[in-house]
Amino acid sequence: MFPVAISSTGLFVPPHVITNEELVVAFNAFAEQENAAHAAEIAAGTRQPVPLSSVEFIEKASGIKRRYVMEKDGVLDPRRMRPRFKARPDTEISMMAEIAVAAARQALERAGKTAADVDGVICAAANMQRAYPAMAVEIQTALGIQGFGFDMNVACSSATFGIEMAVNAVKSGAARAVLVVDPEITSAHLAWKDRDCHFIFGDVCTAILVERLDNAPAGAWEVLGTRLLTSFSNAIRNNAGFMSRAEDRDPDDRDQLFYQEGRRVFKEVCPLAAQHMTSHLADLGFTPAQVRRFWLHQANLSMNQLIARKLLGRDATPEEAPVILDEFANTASAGSIIAFHRHSADFRAGDMGVICSFGAGYSIGSVVVRRT
Protein backbone atom coordinates (compact mmCIF):
# COMPACT_ATOMS: atom_id res chain seq x y z
CA MET A 1 0.00 0.00 0.00
CA PHE A 2 1.24 3.46 -0.93
CA PRO A 3 0.73 6.63 1.13
CA VAL A 4 -1.51 9.05 -0.79
CA ALA A 5 -1.68 12.84 -1.12
CA ILE A 6 -3.84 15.54 -2.63
CA SER A 7 -1.25 17.40 -4.66
CA SER A 8 -3.34 20.29 -5.93
CA THR A 9 -6.76 21.59 -6.88
CA GLY A 10 -8.13 23.55 -9.82
CA LEU A 11 -11.12 25.85 -10.15
CA PHE A 12 -13.13 26.95 -13.19
CA VAL A 13 -15.39 29.94 -12.56
CA PRO A 14 -18.16 30.63 -15.12
CA PRO A 15 -18.21 33.95 -16.98
CA HIS A 16 -21.51 35.35 -15.67
CA VAL A 17 -22.68 36.55 -12.25
CA ILE A 18 -26.28 36.84 -11.05
CA THR A 19 -26.70 38.96 -7.94
CA ASN A 20 -29.58 38.53 -5.54
CA GLU A 21 -30.90 41.91 -6.66
CA GLU A 22 -31.02 40.82 -10.31
CA LEU A 23 -32.58 37.50 -9.40
CA VAL A 24 -35.33 39.08 -7.30
CA VAL A 25 -36.30 41.51 -10.06
CA ALA A 26 -36.65 38.65 -12.56
CA PHE A 27 -38.48 36.34 -10.16
CA ASN A 28 -40.96 38.96 -9.03
CA ALA A 29 -41.72 39.89 -12.65
CA PHE A 30 -42.41 36.20 -13.27
CA ALA A 31 -44.60 35.97 -10.14
CA GLU A 32 -46.66 39.02 -11.10
CA GLN A 33 -47.04 37.65 -14.63
CA GLU A 34 -48.26 34.28 -13.32
CA ASN A 35 -50.60 35.82 -10.76
CA ALA A 36 -52.16 38.07 -13.38
CA ALA A 37 -52.68 35.15 -15.76
CA HIS A 38 -54.44 33.14 -13.06
CA ALA A 39 -56.20 35.97 -11.23
CA ALA A 40 -59.62 34.32 -11.46
CA GLU A 41 -58.48 31.03 -9.88
CA ILE A 42 -56.58 32.90 -7.19
CA ALA A 43 -59.67 35.00 -6.38
CA ALA A 44 -61.80 31.85 -6.24
CA GLY A 45 -59.36 30.20 -3.86
CA THR A 46 -58.62 27.30 -6.21
CA ARG A 47 -55.03 28.38 -6.84
CA GLN A 48 -52.38 29.86 -4.58
CA PRO A 49 -50.60 33.01 -5.80
CA VAL A 50 -46.87 32.86 -6.44
CA PRO A 51 -45.32 34.72 -3.49
CA LEU A 52 -42.78 37.46 -4.14
CA SER A 53 -39.12 37.07 -3.27
CA SER A 54 -36.71 39.58 -1.75
CA VAL A 55 -33.00 40.04 -1.15
CA GLU A 56 -33.61 39.94 2.59
CA PHE A 57 -35.49 36.64 2.33
CA ILE A 58 -32.71 35.01 0.28
CA GLU A 59 -29.87 36.11 2.53
CA LYS A 60 -31.67 35.20 5.73
CA ALA A 61 -32.67 31.77 4.39
CA SER A 62 -29.29 30.85 2.94
CA GLY A 63 -26.45 33.34 3.35
CA ILE A 64 -26.14 33.52 -0.44
CA LYS A 65 -25.48 36.89 -2.08
CA ARG A 66 -24.61 35.97 -5.66
CA ARG A 67 -23.82 33.02 -7.94
CA TYR A 68 -21.84 32.26 -11.10
CA VAL A 69 -23.66 30.76 -14.08
CA MET A 70 -22.79 29.59 -17.56
CA GLU A 71 -25.64 31.68 -19.03
CA LYS A 72 -27.74 34.34 -17.32
CA ASP A 73 -30.09 35.94 -19.87
CA GLY A 74 -32.44 32.95 -19.99
CA VAL A 75 -32.53 32.70 -16.21
CA LEU A 76 -33.43 36.37 -15.87
CA ASP A 77 -36.11 36.28 -18.59
CA PRO A 78 -39.48 36.11 -16.72
CA ARG A 79 -40.98 34.30 -19.73
CA ARG A 80 -38.33 31.54 -19.61
CA MET A 81 -36.66 31.24 -16.17
CA ARG A 82 -33.98 28.73 -17.15
CA PRO A 83 -30.60 28.93 -18.90
CA ARG A 84 -30.55 29.25 -22.68
CA PHE A 85 -27.93 26.77 -23.87
CA LYS A 86 -27.13 26.08 -27.51
CA ALA A 87 -27.05 22.39 -28.42
CA ARG A 88 -23.59 21.28 -29.50
CA PRO A 89 -23.00 18.71 -32.23
CA ASP A 90 -21.39 15.42 -31.21
CA THR A 91 -18.21 16.58 -32.95
CA GLU A 92 -17.70 19.37 -30.37
CA ILE A 93 -16.59 18.99 -26.78
CA SER A 94 -19.50 18.86 -24.34
CA MET A 95 -20.08 21.75 -21.94
CA MET A 96 -19.40 19.67 -18.83
CA ALA A 97 -16.24 18.24 -20.38
CA GLU A 98 -15.06 21.70 -21.42
CA ILE A 99 -15.22 23.18 -17.92
CA ALA A 100 -13.79 20.02 -16.37
CA VAL A 101 -10.79 20.16 -18.70
CA ALA A 102 -10.19 23.80 -17.71
CA ALA A 103 -10.22 22.99 -13.97
CA ALA A 104 -8.12 19.84 -14.46
CA ARG A 105 -5.43 21.67 -16.43
CA GLN A 106 -5.16 24.24 -13.66
CA ALA A 107 -4.76 21.48 -11.06
CA LEU A 108 -2.05 19.79 -13.15
CA GLU A 109 -0.19 23.07 -13.65
CA ARG A 110 -0.28 23.90 -9.95
CA ALA A 111 1.23 20.50 -9.14
CA GLY A 112 3.84 20.72 -11.88
CA LYS A 113 2.41 17.64 -13.59
CA THR A 114 1.23 16.71 -17.08
CA ALA A 115 -1.31 14.29 -18.50
CA ALA A 116 1.47 11.70 -18.78
CA ASP A 117 1.64 11.56 -14.97
CA VAL A 118 -2.05 10.64 -14.57
CA ASP A 119 -3.70 7.24 -15.04
CA GLY A 120 -7.37 7.95 -14.43
CA VAL A 121 -10.20 10.47 -14.37
CA ILE A 122 -13.29 10.32 -12.17
CA CYS A 123 -16.09 12.69 -13.12
CA ALA A 124 -18.05 13.11 -9.89
CA ALA A 125 -21.07 15.42 -10.07
CA ALA A 126 -24.67 15.78 -8.91
CA ASN A 127 -26.05 15.69 -12.47
CA MET A 128 -24.48 14.35 -15.65
CA GLN A 129 -25.07 16.03 -18.98
CA ARG A 130 -25.92 12.70 -20.59
CA ALA A 131 -26.21 9.01 -19.83
CA TYR A 132 -23.35 7.86 -22.10
CA PRO A 133 -20.65 7.85 -23.25
CA ALA A 134 -19.24 8.65 -19.81
CA MET A 135 -18.29 12.29 -19.31
CA ALA A 136 -15.06 11.13 -17.66
CA VAL A 137 -13.90 9.33 -20.81
CA GLU A 138 -14.48 12.45 -22.91
CA ILE A 139 -12.59 14.55 -20.33
CA GLN A 140 -9.77 11.98 -20.14
CA THR A 141 -9.36 11.98 -23.91
CA ALA A 142 -9.48 15.78 -24.16
CA LEU A 143 -6.70 15.99 -21.58
CA GLY A 144 -4.61 13.35 -23.36
CA ILE A 145 -4.57 10.96 -20.39
CA GLN A 146 -3.85 7.30 -21.12
CA GLY A 147 -5.74 5.07 -18.74
CA PHE A 148 -9.34 4.96 -17.54
CA GLY A 149 -12.27 7.21 -16.72
CA PHE A 150 -15.70 6.73 -15.18
CA ASP A 151 -18.63 8.79 -13.91
CA MET A 152 -20.16 8.70 -10.45
CA ASN A 153 -23.05 10.53 -8.82
CA VAL A 154 -23.63 10.84 -5.08
CA ALA A 155 -25.30 14.26 -5.37
CA CYS A 156 -23.59 16.92 -3.24
CA SER A 157 -21.19 14.35 -1.79
CA SER A 158 -19.86 13.30 -5.19
CA ALA A 159 -16.47 15.01 -4.79
CA THR A 160 -15.54 13.42 -1.48
CA PHE A 161 -16.80 10.03 -2.64
CA GLY A 162 -14.73 10.49 -5.80
CA ILE A 163 -11.68 11.34 -3.70
CA GLU A 164 -12.05 8.08 -1.79
CA MET A 165 -12.23 6.12 -5.05
CA ALA A 166 -9.11 7.93 -6.28
CA VAL A 167 -7.29 7.40 -2.97
CA ASN A 168 -8.03 3.68 -3.05
CA ALA A 169 -6.80 3.36 -6.64
CA VAL A 170 -3.54 5.10 -5.82
CA LYS A 171 -3.09 3.38 -2.45
CA SER A 172 -3.45 -0.06 -4.04
CA GLY A 173 -1.07 0.72 -6.88
CA ALA A 174 -3.76 0.52 -9.55
CA ALA A 175 -2.91 4.10 -10.56
CA ARG A 176 -0.07 6.53 -9.96
CA ALA A 177 -2.40 9.51 -9.97
CA VAL A 178 -6.11 10.15 -10.53
CA LEU A 179 -7.91 13.38 -11.34
CA VAL A 180 -11.30 13.90 -9.71
CA VAL A 181 -13.33 16.55 -11.56
CA ASP A 182 -16.64 18.01 -10.40
CA PRO A 183 -18.38 19.91 -13.22
CA GLU A 184 -21.56 21.27 -11.66
CA ILE A 185 -23.92 22.99 -14.08
CA THR A 186 -26.60 23.23 -11.43
CA SER A 187 -28.41 26.10 -13.13
CA ALA A 188 -29.87 23.56 -15.56
CA HIS A 189 -31.69 21.57 -12.85
CA LEU A 190 -32.67 24.40 -10.49
CA ALA A 191 -36.37 25.30 -10.29
CA TRP A 192 -35.94 29.02 -10.92
CA LYS A 193 -39.74 29.47 -10.73
CA ASP A 194 -39.96 28.19 -7.14
CA ARG A 195 -39.57 30.98 -4.57
CA ASP A 196 -38.38 28.56 -1.88
CA CYS A 197 -35.32 27.49 -3.85
CA HIS A 198 -34.87 29.82 -6.85
CA PHE A 199 -31.72 31.29 -5.31
CA ILE A 200 -29.90 28.17 -4.16
CA PHE A 201 -27.53 27.00 -6.88
CA GLY A 202 -24.64 28.25 -9.00
CA ASP A 203 -22.37 26.75 -11.67
CA VAL A 204 -18.68 25.89 -11.25
CA CYS A 205 -16.11 23.13 -11.73
CA THR A 206 -13.38 21.92 -9.40
CA ALA A 207 -10.58 19.41 -9.91
CA ILE A 208 -8.48 17.46 -7.39
CA LEU A 209 -5.23 15.69 -8.23
CA VAL A 210 -4.72 12.60 -6.05
CA GLU A 211 -1.37 10.81 -6.30
CA ARG A 212 1.24 8.81 -4.45
CA LEU A 213 2.77 10.83 -1.63
CA ASP A 214 6.31 10.07 -2.80
CA ASN A 215 5.49 11.62 -6.20
CA ALA A 216 3.69 14.67 -4.78
CA PRO A 217 5.25 18.14 -4.69
CA ALA A 218 6.38 19.79 -1.47
CA GLY A 219 3.47 21.19 0.48
CA ALA A 220 1.03 18.55 -0.73
CA TRP A 221 -1.69 17.21 1.55
CA GLU A 222 -1.21 13.72 2.93
CA VAL A 223 -4.53 11.89 3.11
CA LEU A 224 -4.78 10.46 6.63
CA GLY A 225 -8.16 8.86 6.05
CA THR A 226 -11.44 8.92 4.15
CA ARG A 227 -14.89 7.82 5.26
CA LEU A 228 -18.23 7.53 3.50
CA LEU A 229 -21.80 7.15 4.77
CA THR A 230 -25.16 6.82 3.03
CA SER A 231 -28.70 6.46 4.39
CA PHE A 232 -31.68 6.62 2.04
CA SER A 233 -33.92 9.66 2.26
CA ASN A 234 -36.46 11.32 -0.04
CA ALA A 235 -35.91 14.74 1.54
CA ILE A 236 -33.80 15.92 -1.42
CA ARG A 237 -34.74 14.57 -4.83
CA ASN A 238 -34.81 15.03 -8.62
CA ASN A 239 -36.90 12.50 -10.57
CA ALA A 240 -35.80 13.45 -14.09
CA GLY A 241 -34.26 10.60 -16.04
CA PHE A 242 -34.48 8.43 -19.12
CA MET A 243 -37.67 6.79 -17.85
CA SER A 244 -39.50 10.14 -17.77
CA ARG A 245 -40.13 9.92 -21.51
CA ALA A 246 -41.58 6.43 -21.20
CA GLU A 247 -43.84 7.68 -18.40
CA ASP A 248 -45.11 10.51 -20.66
CA ARG A 249 -43.90 13.06 -18.13
CA ASP A 250 -43.91 16.79 -18.78
CA PRO A 251 -40.34 18.15 -18.45
CA ASP A 252 -41.85 21.09 -16.54
CA ASP A 253 -43.36 18.86 -13.85
CA ARG A 254 -42.05 20.11 -10.53
CA ASP A 255 -40.40 16.83 -9.55
CA GLN A 256 -38.35 16.78 -12.76
CA LEU A 257 -36.13 19.42 -11.17
CA PHE A 258 -34.41 19.76 -7.80
CA TYR A 259 -36.76 19.85 -4.81
CA GLN A 260 -36.30 19.33 -1.09
CA GLU A 261 -37.89 19.49 2.35
CA GLY A 262 -35.49 22.12 3.63
CA ARG A 263 -36.39 22.09 7.33
CA ARG A 264 -36.29 18.31 7.49
CA VAL A 265 -32.88 18.26 5.78
CA PHE A 266 -31.54 20.81 8.26
CA LYS A 267 -32.83 18.83 11.24
CA GLU A 268 -31.59 15.45 10.04
CA VAL A 269 -28.31 16.17 8.25
CA CYS A 270 -26.61 18.53 10.73
CA PRO A 271 -26.23 16.00 13.57
CA LEU A 272 -25.34 13.24 11.10
CA ALA A 273 -22.53 15.29 9.56
CA ALA A 274 -21.10 16.39 12.91
CA GLN A 275 -21.17 12.85 14.31
CA HIS A 276 -19.65 11.47 11.11
CA MET A 277 -16.63 13.77 11.32
CA THR A 278 -16.22 13.34 15.07
CA SER A 279 -16.16 9.54 14.83
CA HIS A 280 -13.90 9.59 11.79
CA LEU A 281 -11.39 11.77 13.61
CA ALA A 282 -11.62 9.63 16.75
CA ASP A 283 -10.82 6.48 14.81
CA LEU A 284 -7.72 8.23 13.47
CA GLY A 285 -6.72 9.25 17.01
CA PHE A 286 -7.74 12.91 16.80
CA THR A 287 -10.35 15.28 18.17
CA PRO A 288 -12.11 18.17 16.40
CA ALA A 289 -10.09 20.58 18.57
CA GLN A 290 -6.91 19.39 16.83
CA VAL A 291 -8.28 20.31 13.40
CA ARG A 292 -7.18 23.71 12.16
CA ARG A 293 -9.87 24.03 9.53
CA PHE A 294 -13.09 22.37 8.36
CA TRP A 295 -13.85 22.80 4.67
CA LEU A 296 -17.55 22.04 4.71
CA HIS A 297 -20.13 21.57 1.97
CA GLN A 298 -21.56 24.97 1.09
CA ALA A 299 -25.33 24.53 1.02
CA ASN A 300 -26.64 26.81 3.72
CA LEU A 301 -24.87 29.15 6.14
CA SER A 302 -26.98 28.15 9.15
CA MET A 303 -26.27 24.47 8.52
CA ASN A 304 -22.53 25.04 8.47
CA GLN A 305 -22.66 27.16 11.60
CA LEU A 306 -24.64 24.51 13.49
CA ILE A 307 -22.41 21.64 12.33
CA ALA A 308 -19.28 23.54 13.36
CA ARG A 309 -20.86 24.34 16.73
CA LYS A 310 -21.62 20.67 17.31
CA LEU A 311 -18.03 19.75 16.38
CA LEU A 312 -16.26 22.35 18.49
CA GLY A 313 -18.74 23.02 21.29
CA ARG A 314 -18.73 26.70 20.34
CA ASP A 315 -19.15 28.97 17.34
CA ALA A 316 -16.43 28.47 14.74
CA THR A 317 -14.39 31.41 13.48
CA PRO A 318 -14.32 32.19 9.73
CA GLU A 319 -10.80 30.77 9.70
CA GLU A 320 -11.93 27.48 11.24
CA ALA A 321 -14.91 26.99 8.91
CA PRO A 322 -14.54 29.30 5.90
CA VAL A 323 -17.56 30.24 3.80
CA ILE A 324 -17.60 30.69 0.03
CA LEU A 325 -21.37 30.27 -0.17
CA ASP A 326 -22.03 34.00 -0.27
CA GLU A 327 -20.07 34.32 -3.53
CA PHE A 328 -20.73 30.98 -5.27
CA ALA A 329 -24.09 29.85 -3.80
CA ASN A 330 -24.59 26.10 -3.47
CA THR A 331 -22.41 24.43 -6.10
CA ALA A 332 -23.40 20.86 -5.16
CA SER A 333 -20.36 18.58 -4.88
CA ALA A 334 -17.87 21.35 -5.65
CA GLY A 335 -18.59 23.54 -2.60
CA SER A 336 -16.25 21.96 -0.05
CA ILE A 337 -13.51 21.76 -2.70
CA ILE A 338 -13.84 25.47 -3.51
CA ALA A 339 -13.49 26.21 0.21
CA PHE A 340 -10.36 24.02 0.34
CA HIS A 341 -8.97 25.58 -2.85
CA ARG A 342 -9.53 29.14 -1.63
CA HIS A 343 -8.63 28.68 2.06
CA SER A 344 -5.67 26.35 2.46
CA ALA A 345 -2.56 28.24 1.34
CA ASP A 346 -1.85 29.55 4.86
CA PHE A 347 -1.40 26.07 6.35
CA ARG A 348 1.99 25.14 7.78
CA ALA A 349 3.57 21.68 7.66
CA GLY A 350 1.77 19.43 10.13
CA ASP A 351 -1.50 21.42 10.15
CA MET A 352 -4.55 19.22 9.77
CA GLY A 353 -7.92 19.83 8.12
CA VAL A 354 -11.12 18.02 7.16
CA ILE A 355 -12.96 18.22 3.84
CA CYS A 356 -16.58 17.19 4.33
CA SER A 357 -19.61 17.12 2.08
CA PHE A 358 -23.19 16.11 2.76
CA GLY A 359 -26.34 16.01 0.71
CA ALA A 360 -29.02 13.98 -1.03
CA GLY A 361 -29.03 10.32 -0.32
CA TYR A 362 -28.45 11.14 2.47
CA SER A 363 -24.74 10.97 1.76
CA ILE A 364 -21.76 12.18 3.79
CA GLY A 365 -18.09 11.97 2.87
CA SER A 366 -15.06 13.17 4.85
CA VAL A 367 -11.37 13.42 3.96
CA VAL A 368 -8.81 14.12 6.69
CA VAL A 369 -5.62 15.71 5.37
CA ARG A 370 -2.33 16.98 6.82
CA ARG A 371 0.01 19.49 5.17
CA THR A 372 3.41 18.05 4.36
- With a CB cutoff of 8 Å and minimum separation 6, the contacts of 302 are 63, 266
Q: Please return the burial class of 129, using the count of CB atoms within 10 Å of its CB with bins 0-12, 13-18 and 19+.
A: middle
Q: Does the annotation count 156 as an active-site position?
A: yes
Phi then psi for residue 197, to 5 deg, are -140, 5
- Helices 158-172 and 335-342 pack at an angle, to 10 degrees, of 70
**DSSP secondary structure of 250-298:** -TTSGGGS-EE-HHHHHHHHHHHHHHHHHHHHHHTT--GGG-SEEEE--
**DSSP secondary structure of 210-232:** EEEGGGSPTT-EEEEEEEEEE--
Phi then psi for residue 114, to 5 deg, are -125, 175
Q: Which of 123, 156, 270, 356 is catalytic?
A: 156
Q: Would you name the residues annotated as active-site residues? A: 156
